[in-house]
Amino acid sequence: MKMDFAKDGYIITKWIDHHNHQFIDVDKRHFLPYNSHIQQSQKYVIDNHMLSGISQRATFDSIYRSIGGPGNLDFVRKDLKNDISIVRQKAMAPGEATVFLNWFREETFLRSGSIMM
């Protein structure tokens, strides 16, 4: 980025859209937003741990240790928590409220003979 001083402040005259975080320590790079990616092999480990009843913290610690520390890890614990909650939400069956709503819709349709949206 190149800036020239103008009357009211600075004006950007040239912008190069290339940005990397070379000045950030290796042990802090996993906190950057572009490094929030859980690899497929790590997802398999997470799924196996979840099915075995192993906690999220223990799962994160085991992945953390197996790859050699934070510099090699592409996600933080919050990303793991989000991934697990997404998997759980997809696996959920309809709850009681959904069952009751569907029953009321069917009953209303049967009694009135019209289609209810």
Residues 64-93 have pLDDT tens digits of 899 888 777 888 888 889 888 888 877 776
Could you list the beta-strand ranges (E) of 1-117: 2-5, 10-14
Residue 81 lies in a domain: yes
In a domain, 15, yes or no: no
Instruction: Write out the residue range of the structural domain in which residue 29 sits.
Output: 25-112
* Residue 19 in domain: no
* Main-chain dihedrals φ then ψ at residue 62, nearest 5 degrees: -70, -40
Residue 58 lies in a domain: yes
- Report d(CA 89, CA 31) in Å as an integer: 26
Residue-level pLDDT, tens digit, the chain, 117 residues? 556 666 677 777 777 676 655 667 766 766 666 667 888 999 999 999 988 999 999 999 999 899 888 777 888 888 889 888 888 877 776 677 788 888 888 888 777 765 555
Q: What is the pLDDT of residue 59?
A: 92
Answer whether residue 32 is part of any domain.
yes
Q: How many domains does the chain have?
A: 1
- Residue 50 CA: distances (Å) to CA of 58, 71, 84, 89: 10, 25, 8, 14
Question: Is 99 among the domain residues?
Answer: yes
CA dihedral 92, 98, 99, 102 (to 10 degrees): -140
> Is 14 part of a structural domain of the chain?
no
Ramachandran angles phi, psi of 15, nearest 5°: -130, 125
pTM as predicted: 0.54
